[in-house]
Amino acid sequence: MIDRPLFLAAVTLIVIGIVFSYSLSAYTVLLYNAAPYHFLLRQFAAGMVGIVLMWLIARQNPDRIVIWLGFILLVTSALLMIAIPFLPEQIAKEIGGAKRWIRLGPVSLAPVEFFKVGFVFFLAWSFSRRVLPKHAARSKDTRYTLKEELLLLLPYIIVFAAIMFIIAIFQNDLGQVVVLAATLLFMMIFAGSSIRIFGFSILLGILAIAAFVVTSPHRIERFKGWWFMLQNSIAKLFPQWAHAVPKVNLVEEPYQVSNSLHAIHHGGLFGVGLGNGVLKLGFLSEVHTDFVLAGMTEEIGVVGVTAVVMLLMFVIYRLLKIAGRVGNTIYYLYCSGLAMIIGFAFLINALGISGVIPLKGIAVPFLSYGGSQIVALSIGIGLALSMSKKARL
């Protein structure tokens, strides 16, 4: 039987995202001289396509659909990401120093969103055939050494290095790399890898991220902006330590995070009312995308956003519950990985807009404006729903 609570929770989140794509885009509509319902109609169309695809995929037999649909997502999106830098400006316009979207008339496509779902499937399919059986065959007394585990996982490390190069260098999108890296790490653990691999991978990831940051002036400035916010917070909370914090001078203060915190504070517990937010009027230029949680908090308050976040956590819970009840190892790893993709994307966005970590430009699953992430996640949830029919009651 299809996991109806998961389907209803995902649909509810899509509807909430549609509502706020209209409420939070008031200033953006004026800025770009767009029609009043421009963002609402586009998000509504993407949401309806996503819901229909989710339901249609959920009704299919997973044993017949998962493999071919997973590989189609993986291969097609990977080829598109490789091709984007070489496409003409009319099709792939450069925005912010990088090409991430393919535009075909009124439709804009971000291949990386579909790649994330395909990547999770690929790891689930490959780990179930190569990694998990080998770990399961070993007794507790004959576990792999760190060297043996590294050799076992070396092909995946090489593949991920290529992915990092494509996404972080060609598309200038380090945030997506962080989400995929964290998902890969936890899926290795789900497949039976040891804590030693966990620690080694974290160290390797930190070094790789540091290398990407120090080789990019844009990322250095973003890191400086985060440190500027952090030193101000330390000075306010612990004035006696303020003199010991290394100072950094910025050409421009990181106003986005500052206004994000103002929006959260202004909303208080119950918000100022749907559509009545003030900080969205030019102070948060990406309020309907990257800063959607801040805009929502101002309008529906901490209580309202907490309810929405709990709904998102419920989606993750249902995915993990399906993972724990299916007998097929591909399904188990896929549902676990999809839950990690959603969870890490939300976590990185929430920590970024609150100034805890540097901003990464990651969309909030289902809630941020953007048709690609809604349709891609809907396909991903649809596959999980089809797998739920094989779960033990």
Structure confidence at residue 252 (pLDDT):
47
Which region among 139-153, 276-290, 306-320 has the lowest average model confidence (pLDDT)? Answer: 139-153
Q: What is the pLDDT of residues 154-185, one digit of tens each?
A: 888 888 888 888 887 777 777 888 899 899 99
Structure confidence at residue 102 (pLDDT):
86
What rounded mean pLDDT belongs to the chain? 84
Question: Mean per-residue pLDDT for 82-102?
Answer: 77
Structure confidence at residue 267 (pLDDT):
87
Paired tokens of 295: 């805009």
∠ CA 53-59-63, nearest 5°, is 105
Structure confidence at residue 251 (pLDDT):
43
Residue 84 located in a structural domain: yes
Structure confidence at residue 297 (pLDDT):
93
SS3 sequence of the chain: CCCHHHHHHHHHHHHHHHHHHHHCCHHHHHHCCCCCCHHHHHHHHHHHHHHHHHHHHHCCCHHHHHHHHHHHHHHHHHHHHHHHHHCCCCCCCCECCECCCEEECCEEECHHHHHHHHHHHHHHHHHHHHHHHHHHHCCHHHCCCHHHHHHHHHHHHHHHHHHHHHHHHHCCCHHHHHHHHHHHHHHHHHCCCCHHHHHHHHHHHHHHHHHHHHCCHHHHHHHHHHHHHHHHHHHHHCHHHHHHCCCCCCCCCCHHHHHHHHHHHHHCCCCCCCCCCCCCCCCCCCCCCCCHHHHHHHHHHHHHHHHHHHHHHHHHHHHHHHHHHCCCHHHHHHHHHHHHHHHHHHHHHHHHHCCCCCCCCCCCCCCCCCHHHHHHHHHHHHHHHHHHCCCCC
Residue 162 located in a structural domain: yes
Report whether pLDDT(253) > 50: no
Q: With bands split at pLDDT 50, 70 and 90, how would you rate the model's confidence at 341?
A: very high
Task: Work out how many domains the chain is built from and give that number.
Answer: 1
Going from the C-alpha of 67 to that of each of 64, 70, 124, 126, the distances in angstroms are 7, 5, 10, 11
Residue 16 located in a structural domain: yes
Report whether pLDDT(77) > 90: yes
Going from the C-alpha of 157 to that of each of 123, 174, 196, 262, the distances in angstroms are 12, 17, 16, 41
Residue 246 located in a structural domain: yes
Q: Are 92 and 99 in contact, with CB atoms under 8 Å apart?
A: yes
Question: Mean per-residue pLDDT for 14-30?
Answer: 90
Which region among 99-113, 311-325, 331-345, 369-383 has the lowest average model confidence (pLDDT)? Answer: 99-113
Instruction: Tokens 């966990």: give the residue.
Output: 198
Residue 286 located in a structural domain: yes
Going from the C-alpha of 174 to that of each of 138, 163, 268, the distances in angstroms are 37, 11, 32
Q: Which of 334, 362, 339 is nearest to 350 (CA)?
A: 362
Residue 364 located in a structural domain: yes
Residue 393 located in a structural domain: no
More confident residue, 331 or 206: 331
What range defines the domain where residue 94 resides?
4-388
Report whether pLDDT(324) > 80: yes
Residue 258 located in a structural domain: yes
